[in-house]
């Protein structure tokens, strides 16, 4: 027997002639694209893409935060670095591809929030829905008989009071045979969701655009030196794309003293730093000086900037004197620490005043000791037995070519080494207060002692000044970021903790005059406390009805 033509297993029928799929057109395609872009699925996908796109920013150094690291990366990876640079891997957070994802997410969130806000506003103004005809199909359904002589309308009046006191929005419905009240609560849940998404948009705007008005700059100060907050005074400076140097607040920052506390009781951690403190003096323009301190986890906030302590080390004072006694170089040179015991490396460049340009590579040992091989090393980070060693180079330092060079590096390829290495001439070794002759009768070099009186007694703690590296950061978006972050938390917890539910109470008058009460609830989403909430409403309602039970005279007393 053959199957009917409309059976699911029947032979497919040929499409009727003349059936044509509608064309979307330009407007239709734009509407379709907008709906896809503003869907929650797309927003979540873009959030995931943004997280993935930010990964390269943590794998390779960024020009905005570590320009020296980028330079070193080019030196260490000469083949790979240019390719990554073309892909904007060293400028991830300002790259075209990262900005595209960022802007799409921004538009998607706005497209999600605006329609939902409009719908939510309309829902807040609307009355709760009409009471269903069959409450028995809903969750938490329970029935009770009202106390004798209770009127159905009065019962619903009391139910309305109970529900309103519990934070429900209520609407009353009356007929000849029954009365009911419809109540709902939990609109704060949707409000929290909207606040959450709106705050995310605020964070995107703040980070994406507000951060362009800030800056980050670094400066190294030796004890006794002063920094003036001007653009040229920074060692390195990273401005936002909208930054204007006329907005810099004029003030001076002086490093008065830098102190370090080392562990000396626990032998397992002997010599480990316990605390760093940079005692500074801040002087705003036209105001009195203000003494303050900067710690590793205690930045100084002044004149619209936050000053962070990044690093520290020793800055031996080195003086070079020409054969005729003229001092051609005298400065406290920051030596960069190479290990935990502050074995430090420094560069000295003397371009003028001598018969030849002079460059020196120095090592400073706060507590000098000898290894079995005879090599020097520092056994303790504090100044117990300081020693400075210098390898001398002569030749063209390349300073006259007009090409910027780092003060922490010396290109020795075109220089002639005079001491140390394969020269068969020992490196110059100096203790605080000592001097030595430079090779080739160029003059003398001295390791200046800043506290010779104490050094003579064996106390070198003040003989060598220290330096501190500061990061000076200005971010006008901090208050906005904190505010939007708090709103995000508020919206998140509100959306998770506030239940959305509806409760109905119906009072029906029977033929014998008694009143039958029905209670039921309905939740939007998972609400394990719904049944308990309906039971609580029923118990409070019955208790209130008994309290307001009308007094009826007994027939015998009439």
pLDDT tens for each residue of 197-223? 889 888 888 887 777 888 888 999 999
Quote the pTM value: 0.68
Q: Which helix (H) or strand (E) holds 333?
A: none
Contact 446, 435 (CB under 8 A): yes
The DSSP symbol for 367 reads B
pLDDT confidence band for 44 (50 / 70 / 90): confident
pLDDT at 204: 81
DSSP string covering 111-130, please?
HHHHHHHHHHHHHHHSPPPP
Q: Percent of the chain beyond pLDDT 90?
A: 45
pLDDT at 378: 94
Please give the average per-residue pLDDT across 401-413, as a whole number: 79
pLDDT at 99: 85
Distance between CA 507 and CA 159 in Å, rounded?
Answer: 10
- What's the full length of the chain, in residues? 558
pLDDT at 121: 86
pLDDT confidence band for 556 (50 / 70 / 90): very low
Asked if residue 304 has pLDDT above 90, the reply is no
Fold of 128-183+499-548: TATA-Binding Protein (3.30.310)
Contact 330, 495 (CB under 8 A): no
Asked if residue 115 has pLDDT above 90, the reply is no
pLDDT confidence band for 346 (50 / 70 / 90): very high
Beta bridge partners of 302: 305
Q: Which helix (H) or strand (E) holds 7?
A: none
Tokens found for residue 287: 């105001």
165-209: pLDDT as tens digits: 988 999 999 988 889 999 999 888 888 988 988 898 888 888 877
Torsion of CA 155, 156, 160, 162, to 10 degrees: 30
Please give the average per-residue pLDDT across 156-165, as a whole number: 93
Kindly list the domain boundaries of the chain, sorted by start residue: 31-111, 128-183+499-548, 212-312+470-477, 317-466
Question: Closest Cα partner for 447 from 465, 421, 461?
Answer: 465
Question: Closest Cα partner for 178 from 162, 161, 159, 155?
Answer: 155
Cα 522–Cα 527–Cα 531 angle in degrees, nearest 5: 60
Give the number of other Cβ atoms within 10 Å of residue 324's Cβ. Answer: 7
58 Cβ partners below 8 Å, 6+ apart?
none
Contact 442, 394 (CB under 8 A): yes
The DSSP symbol for 399 reads G
pLDDT at 558: 38
């Amino acid at each position: 027997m053959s199957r009917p033509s409309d059976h699911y297993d029947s032979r497919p029928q040929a499409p009727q002639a003349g059936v044509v799929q509608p064309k979307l057109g330009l407007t239709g395609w734009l509407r379709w694209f907008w709906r896809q872009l503003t869907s929650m699925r797309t927003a979540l996908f873009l959030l995931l893409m943004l997280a993935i796109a930010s990964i390269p920013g943590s794998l390779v150094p960024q020009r905005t935060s570590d320009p020296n690291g980028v330079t070193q990366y080019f030196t260490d990876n000469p083949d790979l670095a240019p390719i990554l640079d073309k892909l904007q891997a060293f400028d991830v957070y300002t790259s075209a591809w990262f900005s595209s994802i960022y802007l799409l997410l921004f538009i998607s969130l706005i497209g999600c929030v605006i329609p939902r806000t409009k719908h939510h506003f309309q829902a807040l103004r609307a009355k709760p829905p009409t009471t269903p005809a069959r409450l028995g199909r809903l969750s938490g359904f329970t029935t009770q008989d009202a106390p004798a002589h209770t009127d159905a309308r009065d019962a619903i009046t009391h139910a309305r009071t109970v529900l309103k006191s519990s934070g429900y929005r209520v609407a009353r419905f009356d007929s000849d045979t029954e009365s009911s009240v419809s109540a709902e609560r939990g609109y704060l849940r949707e409000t929290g969701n909207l606040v959450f998404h709106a705050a995310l948009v605020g964070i995107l705007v703040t980070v994406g655009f507000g951060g362009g008005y800030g800056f980050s700059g670094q400066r190294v100060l030796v004890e006794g030196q002063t920094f003036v907050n001007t653009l040229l005074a920074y060692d390195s400076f990273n401005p936002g794309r909208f930054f204007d140097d006329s907005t810099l607040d004029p003030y001076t920052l002086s490093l008065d003293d830098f102190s370090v506390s080392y562990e000396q009781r626990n032998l397992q951690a002997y010599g480990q730093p316990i605390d760093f403190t940079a005692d500074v003096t801040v002087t705003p323009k036209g105001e009195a000086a203000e003494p303050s301190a900067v710690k590793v986890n205690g930045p100084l906030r002044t004149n619209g900037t936050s000053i962070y302590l990044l690093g520290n080390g020793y800055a031996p004072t080195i003086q070079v004197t020409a054969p005729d006694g003229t001092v051609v170089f005298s400065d406290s040179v920051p030596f960069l620490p190479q290990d935990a015991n502050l074995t430090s490396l420094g560069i000295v460049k003397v371009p003028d005043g001598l018969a030849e340009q002079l460059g020196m590579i120095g090592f400073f040992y706060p507590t000098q000791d000898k290894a079995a091989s005879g090599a020097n090393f520092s056994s303790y980070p504090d100044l117990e037995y300081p020693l400075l060693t210098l390898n001398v180079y002569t030749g063209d330092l390349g300073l006259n070519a007009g090409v910027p060079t780092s003060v922490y590096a010396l290109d020795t390829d075109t220089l002639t080494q005079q001491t140390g290495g394969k020269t068969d001439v020992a490196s110059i070794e100096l203790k605080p207060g000592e001097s030595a002759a430079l090779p080739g009768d160029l003059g003398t070099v001295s390791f200046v002692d800043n506290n010779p009186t104490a050094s003579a007694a064996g106390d070198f703690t003040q003989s060598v000044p220290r330096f501190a590296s500061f990061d000076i950061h200005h971010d006008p978006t901090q208050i906005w970021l904190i505010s939007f972050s708090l709103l995000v938390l508020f919206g998140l917890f509100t959306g998770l903790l506030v239940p959305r539910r509806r409760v109905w109470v119906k009072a029906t008058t029977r033929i014998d005059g008694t009143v039958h009460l029905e209670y039921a609830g309905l939740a939007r989403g998972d609400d394990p406390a719904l049944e308990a909430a309906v039971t609580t409403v029923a118990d409070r309602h019955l208790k209130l009805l008994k309290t307001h039970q009308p007094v009826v005279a007994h027939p015998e007393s009439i």
